[in-house]
Amino acid sequence: MIELKSLGKTYRTAGEEITALEGIELTIHDGEIYGIIGLSGAGKSTLVRCINLLERPTSGRVVIDGQDITSVSRKRLLEIRRSIGMIFQGFHLLEQSTVLHNVTFPLEVAGTRRRDAVGRAMELLEIVGLADRANAYPSQLSGGQKQRVAIARALATRPKYLLCDEATSALDPNTTRSILDLLAEINRKMGVTIVIITHEMKVVEQICDRVAVLDQSRIVEEGKVSEVFADPKSAIAKELILPERRLRAKAHGGQRVRILLEMPASESEAEKVTRWLKDSPVELQEEG
């Protein structure tokens, strides 16, 4: 379990202090997929980097499986970090190394024997569907393939947690869907707890169990995705989930139901769906 207790992060520059995080209280349970959303500059990336202390908090504590990692020795911190994998928007692959070496690299750093490292890497490349590209270089891969290599590398040390910092933002919708399917499979089959930082609401809807909404360095809303997305309470959540420019007049009373439809490929079928929506007695808030 990951627990953030009164977490704060302040950057100090010449004559100025910038508060990136303030009073963050958050618990992420083992085995879940947890989303953190917010506008650009809200502090999302800083928050996820504080979990593994790539960014050291100015105040508060980060507790991993009952241990406050902000107070451990550097040696112990390095050991703990092996249980926390991380993938990034920009992939961060070693461009002059093969796919295989990119995945074995963290194992070699950890002192794993070469033969064992290669065996583990090939096992993971099989899982992410790239076993046949083991000897390719990153420049020979698509964006989705690069992210799959990054996922395999992040899983090399058998982490319990996987942090994803805008991991799908540079990918097209179809590739994003396939990466999210892969992450869901990893969560389900390996039991890896996943934390996803994103500004894409569809990512959260597709894969996350719970979500926290970050605004101006603070968490302003948190709960099950189904509940937060069906009836967002905070102004920023409403802006992110149900943009004002797409809302009709506010309804009073009754139930709120969130309906997501994938439009049919057939134009005639799409017209039928559109006509049904217009004729429906239920007040609908269209999202596109």
Strands, DSSP E only, in the chain? 2-13, 16-28, 33-37, 59-64, 67-68, 84-88, 161-165, 193-198, 210-215, 218-224
- Rg over alpha carbons for the chain, rounded to the nearest Å, is 21
- Amino acid 269: pLDDT: 61
What are the sequence ranges of the domains in the chain?
2-246
Overall fold of domain 2-246: Rossmann fold (3.40.50)
135 in Cβ contact with 99 (< 8 Å): yes
What is the per-residue pLDDT across 220-273, written as a single tens digit (0 to 9) for each?
A: 999 999 999 989 989 999 988 887 544 444 555 555 655 555 555 555 665 666
Q: Which residues of the chain have pLDDT under 50?
A: 245-249, 286-288
What is the per-residue pLDDT across 179-188, written as a single tens digit (0 to 9) for each?
A: 999 999 999 9
Percent residues over pLDDT 70 in the chain: 84
- Amino acid 288: pLDDT: 44
